[in-house]
Chain A
Amino acid sequence: MKHIAPLRRASVRTLLATGLVTGLALTAGCAKSEDSSGNDKASAQQEDPGQVVASPSGGSGPSCTIDSYGGSKVDLKSATVGFSQSEKEANPFRIAETASIKAEAQKRGVKLLTANAQSQFSKQISDVQDLIAKGADLLVIAPLNSDGWEPVLRTASAKHIPIVTIDRKINAAACKDYVSFIGSDFVEQGRRAADQMIEATGGKGEVAILLGAAGNNVTTERTKGFEDRIKEKAPGLKIVFRQTGDFAREKGQSVTENLIQSKPGIKGIYAENDEMGLGAVNALKGAGKKPGDVKIVTIDGTRNAVQGIVDGWIDGVIESNPRFGPLAFQTLDTFTQGQEVAQDIVIQDSSYTESNAKADLGKAY
């Protein structure tokens, strides 16, 4: 038995290897997916920044100038900007974020270096160090984590490189380790979602919350804003159900299926992101409900969710704006000219309801 084994083994291995390679080749070669009419639109809408640019110097919070940060004035036009993206551009938010930074750099004629950490924090640290080594004078960072940035900050501060972080904050001293943080106010997003829910339901009845992933600050802040505003403005609206959908469509669907059976009188569902909201729509469709039977309000502003408003299934979408490009570059421009900028800059999030969903579908990302 033993002496013939190697021969057989080798031939089986070759066979398997050939099989795998052919399989891969076939996969790549003759794939034919469903036609999707949305694709060309998706590329067209990238042109439209769709963002109201708030003035970076505005706001009442603490501010920062180049004198207090250290370093010297630079002309943004002749500078090199490094951009480090945290996650793979595989979801609409990251795609729109990177596209916005690139578009703004091109518009302003600034040389842009980009890197993507593919969700690995160690890679992001070395990415940023590479960007500095390649001669970036200014940095825009979308951090993967809030902690662990000391090695990068030390290198950057030795060279007096201004850093702007977008969408997530880093735990370091503003105006010392980095200049400003630009991001959304998640509590405010929750409050605005509550306003839309109150309007859609008339302020009476029972509503449910599909929570995001546990232990995530986005989840806690979006929940807090929503609950506080409901308590304060619509005491007739009772939150009777809070379960996590892990920010995923499948989980949102299965949780909603259980929800509408155990609480058939539910009037509204607040989903803390679009994907769970779309899962809830699936569940309602499966249960034979009609559009509008249960009011749904979600946060993010992806194209699918805004399309959901047009179709009548979703009643309101609060945007979480990924288009940081204009605001980030304006902040850097103002700062490098020697004027003061705020340490915390809140990006403006728009919203979609029945009245503007059709017209603004192109703005959704």
Chain B
Amino acid sequence: MADVSLARVTVDRDRALRLLQNYGVYGGVMVLLVFNFAFTAHFASAENFRTQAVQVAPVLIVALGMALAIGTEGVDLSVGSVMALSTSLLSLYLGYGPWIATLIAVVGGILVGAANGALIAFVGVQPIVATLALMVGARGLALVLLPQLKDVRNPGMAALGSGDVLGIPYLVLIAAALALLVAFVVKRSTFGRRLLAIGDSRPAARLAGLPVRRVLIVVYVCSGALAAVAGVLATARLTASDPTSLGTLMELSAITAVVVGGTPLSGGRVRIGGTVAGAVLIQLLTTTLIKHDLPPSWTQIAQAVVIVGAVYAARERGKR
């Protein structure tokens, strides 16, 4: 008798944890929204939601790439530096017009991603080490190209940063489109299946004849390209190229969004919806604390609590 009830308790606990891991992030977002509607003055305005969406867009785009890298049981620490490199390149080539400059900035991100992928896939360096090297290198290169902050006066870039379609800012539209695209690729394409298979077990994927190296390189190229796009958007919003501070600690924000969103660091599973919600959760958390004028150190502590909670929920899966 006792055995049966004990077993049921464990089952219930398992299910609760799985639910928490899968849907906890959405619950967190709901809790914060309800709290803000109740206690934060002027929260329920279109203008406010617009601001929050615009602020979260670059982090979200970077987190999409990060989710892919984490899905292969890797990580991409170079994303913040890629943003800096992208803003440097953008500023350097803006004389040719915003389209060409953006293209070159994205190509820069792709090159860094290719270098990351080559180190990981061909040389066999651990992802954390390979991307750490590129994180240092790309920031250095960005500062060599553009040593100090430079204003961006191009009207096209300014429009990208502050313009909108039917009240929805370009930044938000681009972020949403990229999120849908990445979600589609992960869920529906062969590439997405291969990516998850590699993340689950690389030796098994290799034995099954999957093109492991090619997939890995493409994953890091995507991550680099997405980070470069985020760098371009952040530059447009700031109307200035600031390689010294743009993207600093971005890798941590992105990893936080991915992990909080329920993607396990052990790979083999990517949750794009959760990643989006994770980025929104961190944004709302920061905003709530800022709007209530709590000391900035509280924001960091609150973020830490959320991360620990998310990792605790994810822990059970590894034990299975």
Which of A109-117, A245-253, A291-299 forms part of the interface with chain B? Answer: A245-253
| Known contacts A248-B245, A250-B246; A242/B293 CB under 8 A | yes
Distance of A13 Cα from B118 Cα, bound (Å): 8
Tell me if A52 counts as interface (CB < 8 A to partner B): no
When C-beta atoms are compared, the residue in chain A nearest to B243 turns out to be A90
Which of B37-45, B253-261, B304-312 forms part of the interface with chain A? Answer: B37-45
| Known contacts A214-B296, A243-B293, A249-B149; A282/B239 CB under 8 A | yes
When C-beta atoms are compared, the residue in chain B nearest to A248 turns out to be B245
Which of A33-41, A77-85, A334-342 forms part of the interface with chain B? Answer: A33-41
Which of A15-23, A65-73, A120-128 forms part of the interface with chain B? Answer: A15-23
Q: Of residues 214 to 262 in A, which have CB atoms within 8 Å of B's CB atoms? A: 214, 240-244, 246, 248-251, 253-255, 257-259, 261-262
When C-beta atoms are compared, the residue in chain A nearest to B206 turns out to be A1
B287 and A258 contacting across the interface, CB-CB below 8 Å: yes
A243 to B: closest C-beta gap in Å: 5
B42 and A262 contacting across the interface, CB-CB below 8 Å: yes
| Chain A: interface size category | 35 or more
Q: Of residues 234 to 283 in B, which have CB atoms within 8 Å of A's CB atoms? A: 234, 237-240, 242, 244-246
Name A262's contact: one of B41, B114, B151, B245 (CB within 8 Å): B41
Distance of A92 Cα from B149 Cα, bound (Å): 9
Q: Of residues 16 to 60 in A, which have CB atoms within 8 Å of B's CB atoms? A: 16, 19-20, 23, 27, 31-36
| Known contacts A243-B290, A258-B291, A264-B42; A88/B246 CB under 8 A | no
Distance of A19 Cα from B162 Cα, bound (Å): 35
Tell me if B150 counts as interface (CB < 8 A to partner A): yes
Distance of A35 Cα from B55 Cα, bound (Å): 29
When C-beta atoms are compared, the residue in chain B nearest to A241 turns out to be B293
With a 10 A CB-CB cut-off, give which of A9, A31, A211, A246 has the most chain B CB atoms.
Answer: A31
CB contacts (< 8 Å) of B89 on chain A: these are 27
CB contacts (< 8 Å) of A27 on chain B: these are 89, 92, 145
Name B238's contact: one of A23, A35, A242, A249 (CB within 8 Å): A249
Tell me if A12 counts as interface (CB < 8 A to partner B): yes
CB contacts (< 8 Å) of B154 on chain A: these are 34
A34 and B55 contacting across the interface, CB-CB below 8 Å: no
When C-beta atoms are compared, the residue in chain B nearest to A261 turns out to be B48
B42 and A261 contacting across the interface, CB-CB below 8 Å: yes
CB contacts (< 8 Å) of B238 on chain A: these are 249-250, 253, 279, 282
CB contacts (< 8 Å) of A244 on chain B: these are 296
Distance of A171 Cα from B162 Cα, bound (Å): 47
When C-beta atoms are compared, the residue in chain A nearest to B119 turns out to be A16
Tell me if A286 counts as interface (CB < 8 A to partner B): yes
Name B55's contact: one of A88, A249, A257 (CB within 8 Å): A257
CB contacts (< 8 Å) of A255 on chain B: these are 290
B51 and A90 contacting across the interface, CB-CB below 8 Å: no
A12 and B95 contacting across the interface, CB-CB below 8 Å: no
When C-beta atoms are compared, the residue in chain B nearest to A30 turns out to be B93
A34 and B153 contacting across the interface, CB-CB below 8 Å: yes
B245 and A250 contacting across the interface, CB-CB below 8 Å: yes
Distance of A19 Cα from B217 Cα, bound (Å): 15
When C-beta atoms are compared, the residue in chain B nearest to A95 turns out to be B148
CB contacts (< 8 Å) of A240 on chain B: these are 293
Q: Of residues 140 to 166 in B, which have CB atoms within 8 Å of A's CB atoms? A: 143, 145, 147-154, 162
Name B148's contact: one of A20, A35, A90, A264 (CB within 8 Å): A90
B residues touching A (Cβ–Cβ < 8 Å)?
40-43, 45, 47-48, 51, 55, 89, 91-96, 107-108, 111, 114-115, 118, 122, 143, 145, 147-154, 162, 234, 237-240, 242, 244-246, 287, 290-291, 293, 296-297
Closest 7 CB pairs of A and B: A32-B95, A262-B291, A248-B245, A31-B92, A90-B147, A244-B296, A90-B148
8 sampled A-B residue pairs with Cβ under 8 A: A16-B114, A33-B95, A244-B296, A250-B234, A250-B242, A250-B245, A261-B51, A262-B40
